[in-house]
């Protein structure tokens, strides 16, 4: 690793970011920053905000980087996403480990609202390369979380090579996902040896974080694909309002939530006794799927067609046959001799009652410009966390083969990563248990 990377490992100084209002005007205060890795404030979005001002303040605060689990999984979903998958381009295990250590140090700083490193580097002054790219210098922490994952190909390449002596450490559930009917997977935006999910309430903060990890990884990793998302499409906390996806429907009403720790233990967290638990206990598996939405046919379909496809009303988000969003989903209720919630609706097929399982969804909407055929290239970048992909996403997705929504969507990318547990101390780093 370079001098620059080693400097990342030194204790950090005070935050040099001033706290700006959301409209970019006015100075509201200064973040009281502690030593590197210290917990600076606490996101309060778990609690229903009583005013927009409270919500705005929570949106700018720091989320603790350390804990039993990585932040960014059950953390109340922030509004913006930058997700990146990397190919590891070195065969040198020591280089990879040094980069993961440098990444952890930088992530510790950036999630606390600090820079990845000095802009005017201490050692070299203005004739050194800055240790931070600078575009987030004036921005608060903005709820930034950075969540790392290890793909199947980190353990054994597609050619069967065990580059880093990790093959025996691969948990059996960490394997490429099966093909599903209707898939149109593009390998160029699928898979990857490593991933980092950056979520924040300011996209510039998320992009800055990913960009500085890319910079620190020069010569060790190469960007395989990356995806920006602008609107969270799930709540992960009961204190959050349910957002709407690009079909215009509330999404994630019945998602797993941070306030249900028993359900999280059952469905999200890898536990002692599970495969790979020696390094993965307290972690989870993330599945990502880029899902193109066929916006134009959807926008010319009737309200009835849309509601029968989803299984909920559009305005209120109530289960069909009910009135309010959080009314119980009743799959036995009939209206005029038909089931109120059609058996081909997305809610019917995806609901734990019928899929037999549950996943923690954490997706974001995207618009990637246009598709060259006169249409917006828009959809959902689906992200889900689970204890085992086979009994999580794969089981749900197989149950969706008769989903009426399939007419309006197509999956174009796929990836799976094992996300290690949280960082627990000042000298911990991403992957330490795996590489020990």
Residue ranges in 256-285 that form contacts with a second copy under rule CB under 8 A: none
Instruction: Calculate the CA dihedral of residues 180, 181, 187, 189 and round it to 10 degrees.
Output: -80
CB 271 to a second copy: min, Å = 30
Q: Examine residue 240 and tell whether it contacts a second copy (CB under 8 A).
A: yes
Q: Which stretch binds a second copy (CB under 8 A): 64-72, 177-185, 236-244, 349-357?
A: 236-244
**Which residue from 136, 141, 384, 416 is in contact with a second copy, where contact means CB under 8 A?**
136
CB 51 to a second copy: min, Å = 5
Q: Where on the phi/psi map is residue 140: left (φ > 0), alpha (ψ -120 to 50), or beta?
A: beta
Instruction: Give the residue with the Cβ less far from a second copy, 11 or 125.
Output: 125
Contact 201, 78 (CB under 8 A): yes
CB 345 to a second copy: min, Å = 15
Q: What is the crossing angle of helices 93-111 and 203-216, to 10°?
A: 150
Q: Examine residue 326 and tell whether it contacts a second copy (CB under 8 A).
A: no
Per DSSP, the residues of 36-56 read TT---S---TTSPPSSHHHHH
Give start and end residues of each alpha helix (H) in 284-422: 295-299, 303-310, 346-350, 352-355, 393-399
Tokens 């999984």 belong to: 73
The whole-angstrom separation of Cα 117 and Cα 109 is 8
Q: Which stretch binds a second copy (CB under 8 A): 7-15, 94-102, 105-113, 201-209?
A: 201-209
**Which residue from 156, 281, 314, 407 is in contact with a second copy, where contact means CB under 8 A?**
314
Q: Which stretch binds a second copy (CB under 8 A): 92-100, 367-375, 386-394, 397-405?
A: 367-375
Positions 105 through 134 that interact with a second copy (CB under 8 A): 119-121, 124-130, 132-134
Q: Examine residue 165 and tell whether it contacts a second copy (CB under 8 A).
A: no
Tokens 């290690």 belong to: 420
Instruction: Give the residue with the Cβ less far from a second copy, 32 or 168.
Output: 32
Q: Examine residue 294 and tell whether it contacts a second copy (CB under 8 A).
A: no
CB 275 to a second copy: min, Å = 32
**Which residue from 9, 277, 281, 376 is in contact with a second copy, where contact means CB under 8 A?**
376
The whole-angstrom separation of Cα 156 and Cα 191 is 13
Q: Examine residue 310 and tell whether it contacts a second copy (CB under 8 A).
A: no
Q: Examine residue 210 and tell whether it contacts a second copy (CB under 8 A).
A: yes
Residue 108 CA to chain centroid, in angstroms?
A: 17
CB 33 to a second copy: min, Å = 17
Instruction: Give the residue with the Cβ less far from a second copy, 30 or 172.
Output: 30
- How far CA 181 is from CA of 33, 291, 386, 400, in Å, comes to 51, 14, 22, 10
Residues 6+ positions from 9 with CB-CB distance below 8 Å: 101, 102, 105
Instruction: Give the residue with the Cβ less far from a second copy, 171 or 252.
Output: 252
**Which residue from 67, 90, 138, 344 is in contact with a second copy, where contact means CB under 8 A?**
138
Contact 110, 144 (CB under 8 A): yes
**Which residue from 9, 167, 277, 367 is in contact with a second copy, where contact means CB under 8 A?**
367
């Amino acid at each position: 690793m370079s001098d620059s990377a080693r400097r990342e490992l030194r204790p950090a100084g005070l935050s040099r970011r001033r706290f700006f209002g959301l409209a970019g005007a006015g100075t509201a205060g200064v973040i009281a920053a502690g030593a590197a890795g210290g917990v600076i404030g606490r996101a309060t979005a778990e609690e229903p905000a009583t005013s927009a001002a409270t919500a705005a303040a929570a949106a700018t605060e720091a989320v603790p980087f350390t804990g039993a689990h990585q932040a960014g999984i059950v953390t109340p979903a922030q509004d913006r996403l930058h997700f990146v998958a990397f190919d590891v381009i070195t065969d040198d295990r020591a280089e990879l480990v040094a980069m993961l250590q440098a990444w952890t140090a930088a992530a510790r700083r950036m999630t606390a609202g600090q820079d990845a490193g000095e802009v005017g580097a201490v050692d070299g002054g203005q004739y050194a390369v800055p240790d931070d790219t600078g575009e987030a210098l004036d921005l608060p922490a903005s709820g930034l979380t950075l969540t790392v994952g290890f793909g199947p190909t980190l353990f054994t390449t597609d050619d069967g090579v065990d580059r880093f002596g990790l093959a025996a450490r691969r948990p059996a559930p960490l394997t490429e996902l099966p093909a599903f009917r209707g898939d149109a997977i593009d390998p160029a935006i699928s898979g990857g040896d490593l991933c980092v999910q950056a979520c924040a309430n300011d996209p510039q903060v998320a992009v800055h974080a990913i960009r500085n990890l890319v910079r620190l990884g020069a010569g060790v990793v190469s960007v395989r694909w990356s995806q920006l998302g602008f609107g969270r499409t799930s709540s992960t906390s009961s204190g959050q309002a349910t957002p709407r996806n690009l079909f215009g429907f509330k999404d994630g009403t019945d998602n797993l939530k941070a306030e249900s720790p028993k359900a999280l233990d059952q469905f999200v967290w890898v536990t002692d006794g599970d495969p790979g638990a020696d390094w993965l206990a307290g972690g989870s598996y993330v599945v990502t799927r880029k899902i193109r939405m066929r916006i134009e046919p959807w926008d010319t379909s009737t309200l009835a067609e849309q509601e029968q496809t989803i299984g909920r009303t559009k305005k209120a988000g109530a289960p069909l046959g009910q009135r309010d969003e959080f009314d119980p989903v009743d799959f036995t209720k009939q209206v005029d001799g038909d089931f109120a919630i059609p058996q081909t609706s997305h809610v019917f097929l995806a609901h734990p009652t019928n899929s037999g399982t549950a996943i923690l969804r954490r997706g974001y909407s995207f618009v990637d410009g246009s598709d060259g055929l006169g249409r917006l290239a828009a959809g959902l970048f689906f992200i889900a966390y689970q204890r085992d992909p086979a009994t999580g996403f794969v089981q749900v997705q197989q149950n969706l083969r008769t989903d009426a929504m399939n007419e309006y969507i197509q999956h174009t990318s796929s990836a799976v990563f094992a996300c290690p547990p949280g960082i627990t101390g000042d000298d911990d780093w991403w992957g330490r248990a795996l590489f020990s």
